[in-house]
Structure 1
Amino acid sequence: MSEQAPVIAVLLTEKTRRMMLDDAAVAQLNALGDVRWPAGATIDAGDVEHLLQGAVACLTGWGTPPFNDAARQRHPHLALVAHSAGSIRTLVPARLFDEGLRVSHAASKIAASVAEFVVAEAMLAMRGIHRLHHRLRKGGEWLDVRAAVPQRLLGARTVGIVGAGYVGRAVMRLLVPFGCRVLVVDPFLDDGDAAALGVFKAGLDDMLAQADVVSLHAPVLPETRHMIGARELALLRPGALFINTARAELVDEAALLAEIRSGRIEAALDVFDDEPLPFDSPFRDPALAHVTISPHAAGHTEEAHFSQGRAMVDEIGRLLRREPLHHEVTRAMLDRMA
């Protein structure tokens, strides 16, 4: 590369690089300018400072140390942070937006993976597949097992969605063709968008009281932290399925544990207050057979990861060609994003 080639800093750990960038994406990125790669498997704040010297764009992701408020002053040429993961809330301070730094993220590329995971959890619970499996494995009699596990049709259920962002809308698009009645809680969803999606707007309490399945997809904001507590959980119908693949902070975990221990509702949980989930966590209790737990895995598919990486390499190319960005996060969006 010539000395005039734009400098691009890759601020990814080796593990994240392998996860996000296939050979084609690496070749595409290298063709855009003078690409600086971390020397080691990990990356710390000192590595970030070194790699950003003279850079006009950087590629970030899971494991990238957060920027501080003075980053713009130290790296005045930096024009774009292309974040190959979803949330940028803890990565880029709001002040940097105000100082002109542009940010893109790949949250929309994760949505399909999370949506499939949510629908899989709903279908698993409605048909009791895991219960059928375990009862037969334990020697249960064929017809007795079938009679003991209720079978419900997902398409005949009412599903409540909290949050109509990228993931919430992806879940809606999968559920509506099943025939589900979908109730959505989101103050920013207007009537036109709801009609186009084939869903119905609802208040939180009304949705909780009507839904057979509830799935959370809201961002963590001061007004959404612990938005689901003991009072809200008590509104759920007996036998309802409560799914959280969003953020643990949306729910009062102690209240949720008490509710599921009562056996009144089922749950599918992918996020927890303490992650990794401690080995002695009560959520690991084998007695909670009506609860499925997973290790924050909903968004993690090979296809989604490579799509995230390619999307952000494409964004850097658009910046350098002075084309409109496709995945930009604006300052106005920041206050209501995850």
Structure 2
Amino acid sequence: MTGLSAASTLVRDATWLAHRYDPGHDAFHFRHVARERRSEVPFLTDDYLGHEAGPIVVERNDCATAIAGQQVTPLHFLFHSAYCASTMLVQAIGQPGIATGLSEPVLLNDMVGWRRRGADPRQHGRVMHDALSLLGRGFGGDHAVVIKPSNIFNPLARGAMTLRPEARALLLYAPLRAFLLSVARKGLGCRLWCRELLENYLADGFVTFGFDARAYFRQSDLQIAAVGWLAQQQAFAALAAWTPERIATLDSETLTRAPGDAVAAAMAHYQIPMADDIISGNPALSRNSKSGAPFVAGERQRDLAAAEAAYGAEIDQVVAWASVLAEQAEIPLTLPQPLALP
């Protein structure tokens, strides 16, 4: 593994992405990902970036020493509950000279997996601090770094905010019905993903609705999706109440109806200076964030309307059932502290 000299070179150059953490060797893996490449892919994962056969491996202590003397770029978070246009938002904010956006870096997924495998909490906190420092290296001229973790990271959101007391966060979510419509129309793969997400949240102790393990086998795919949504909504409400001065909330339908206004409001919340052309000339607002295809105004609303026609009756039942759970657990279906749009 390379030493302090190499670490110093790497941490000065934001194109070297801190990509993985190896707890067995207490080392970070770096791979070279130019800004242009990051803007081409929805997520900073191997599925989209391609497999890196020869990452540069650096011991964590060398990374921590090297970054200690670096200028600190303000770091903020975009936490989300899936299917809510979060990728579009982080790409819209992450423009040259404005901010560095990171969409679902694998390094934070490694933090989740290591914790599930029984990492010592104190050591996990130290490594998380260093991981956030490495991810928080902005490109030259940018005013901030905005990280959008995967929503599997949500159980660690409060810990991340504690480690970065100056950080602000935006909690982005799809309303329950819109979320379920997205799950239904995306098909079997999405339904299976919702089951996997809930399985992981149960392992994290993130679900507190009193069902025993057998009860989940008797629930439909959309009920499982609703339970996962409720767990995230409950956590987001608690997070917003914990540090209200640092957190605002936004729902996907507001974002997609007025994306320019929402981007401007998000940047104001993050205290990022906004260039005059950040909205009118922003490429992220004119393309599909996943496929890169040109975006057609109203596309999301038409997709949801088609799903409503096909699955509306089933979703009516699930929304009614989930609403009772929400009332019993005192979970707000609409989050407080909404982002103030211009």
Q: Calculate the TM-score normalised by the size of structure 1.
A: 0.23
Q: Calculate the TM-score normalised by the size of structure 2.
A: 0.23
Choose 1 or 2 for highest CA Rg. Answer: 1
